[in-house]
Every structure is written in structure tokens, then in C-alpha cells.
Amino acid sequence: AQTVTQSQPEMSVQEAETVTLSCTYDTSENNYYLFWYKQPPSRQMILVIRQEAYKQQNATENRFSVNFQKAAKSFSLKISDSQLGDTAMYFCAFTETSNTGKLIFGQGTTLQVKP
Amino acid sequence: EAEVAQSPRYKITEKSQAVAFWCDPISGHATLYWYRQILGQGPELLVQFQDESVVDDSQLPKDRFSAERLKGVDSTLKIQPAELGDSAMYLCASSLSGRRGETQYFGPGTRLLVL
């Protein structure tokens, strides 16, 4: 079965500093997609960043970047220059084997950015 | 900016009662997903529609849950009878075509409490 594991239930970081959230996954596929979604308190979940497995280059979106290690099945999220608005629950997600677009989510990491 | 709408935002019900949740996806999105998110965990797919057809309901407890998307636009998820273990956040998401790797857009969710 395909699984996604986030081993850090909670993390905190000082404003303006950098933090890295960890994610590992298990799959036998060679081509797939990985995502980081952000769920702020009482607000809807939004996509932060996406990585296609066949692309060697790590994806970046402004202050957010990933470290994708395909052989190690690791997909960590780095947030640079952390802002108070980054306080949220972060979910790592993976596309399932079928072509339906179904996402399999990790357990989430609650990130608190402190002033 | 177009958003996924859900109602109600909160629902409190008693065990054995019937409840229904409504979702209106982003206009033009063919694919609609219902996820259940238990507190402190990642979302889990309950059912996925492609237009009006169900493409994945493998995790839907069919003895008590039902879902429909009659005209391929908005959707209703029903629970009858509700059980204590159904207390969770019910998230609706939509995407343009349901292809792997496509961004899913989430609604604000319906938080259900079963007493």
C-alpha cells in the first residue's frame, strides 16, 4: 500500500528564520506527483508546491522549496524567511497509482511561526 | 477568485440522525472529491466524481453514507444514521479534469459533531 509519513507532529520557528518539514513516502511506481498543502486555522487547504517525480530539479515557489530525494523517497519542504501567516498545518500528499488523481495525505505537521 | 463552496460550515447532530452536506465546486471543474479529515489527521478520500459518475468510492462506508452529483455540478454527501465515530471535518475539493498531478481546490469544510 502506498503511504505518506510525516514524522514531525508539531514544529515552531521564529519569524524570518528558515524551517524544514519532513515527509517520506512509499511507492513502487517510477512516475508520480508529490504535493505540499497548507491548511491555516479555520481556512481552506491550499496548494503550496508540487513536484513531478521524473523531474530532477527541485520545485520552488517564492519562499517555499522542496528537497526531493527520489531514491530515498523523501520530500521535505523548506520555508525561508518565515512569516506569521505561514502558521498552519502542512500536509504532504502523493498521487495514488490509478489515474483518478486521488491524493493520499500524511498525518500533517502543525507549524507555528513565533514573532 | 472562484472558490469551492460548502454548507453548512458546522453541524451538530445526535447519534442515529440523518445529516447532509452540500458542495458547489469551481465552475467548469469536472472532478469533485469528498474527503473526511479526523481531527489531527490528514484527509482521506471518501468518494470521487467525474462529472456525474462515481470513479472511486472504495473508502465510502456504503451502509450509511451516500453521495450524488446528479447534474455533474454540485454534490450532496449524506450520512444516515450518524454514529459517534463520524465526527470529523468533511472537505470537498474540485479539479479541472481529475488527471494525476492536477491541483485540487478545497472548500472550507463542514465540521460535524455527533453527540
pLDDT in tens, A8-53: 999 999 999 999 999 999 988 888 899 999 999 888 999 999 999 8
Rounded distance between C-alpha atoms, residue B10 and residue B14, angstroms: 14
How does pLDDT run across B35-68, given as a tens digit for each residue?
999 988 999 999 999 999 999 999 999 999 999 9
pLDDT level of residue A54 (50, 70, 90 thresholds): confident
What is the model's pLDDT at position A99?
Answer: 65
pLDDT confidence of residue B94: 96
pLDDT above 70 (res A56): yes
Q: Which of A32, A42, A44, A49 to mutate to test the interface with B (most CBs of B within 10 A)?
A: A44
Contacts of A107 in chain B (CB under 8 A): 40-42
Q: How many CA atoms lie within 13 A of A42 on its CB side?
A: 2
Please tell me the distance in Å from A15's CA to the nearest CA on chain B.
24
- Residue holding cell 520530500? A75
Kindly state the DSSP code that residue B83 receives in the 8-state scheme: -
pLDDT band at B72; cut points 50, 70, 90: confident
> What pLDDT is attached to residue B17?
97
Chain B residues close to A101, C-beta within 8 Å: 31, 48, 95, 98-102, 104
Residue A110's DSSP bridge partners are A10, A89
Q: What CA–CA distance (Å, rounded) separates A94 from A115?
A: 32
Percentage of chain B exceeding pLDDT 70: 100
Q: Please state, in angstroms and rounded to a whole number, the distance separating the CA atoms of residues B47 and A25.
A: 23
Confidence (pLDDT) at A101: 79
For B101, which of A46, A50, A91 is closest by C-beta distance?
A50
Closest listed residue to residue B90, CA positions, set B61, B64, B113:
B113
Q: How far is CA B91 from CA A11, A61, B77, B96, B108, in A?
A: 25, 25, 10, 17, 7
- Residue A88, number of CB atoms within 10 A of its CB: 21
Q: What is the per-residue DSSP string for chain A?
A: --EEE---SEEEEETTS-EEE--EEE-S-SS-EEEEEEE-TTS--EEEEEEETT--SPPEETTEEEEEETTTTEEEEEE-S--GGG-EEEEEEEE-SSTT--EEE---EEEEEE-
**For chain A, first and last CA: distance in Å?**
41
**pLDDT value at residue A97:** 59
The predicted pLDDT at position A98 comes to: 62
- pLDDT tens digits for range A57-108: 999 999 999 999 999 999 999 999 999 999 999 999 998 656 677 899 999 9
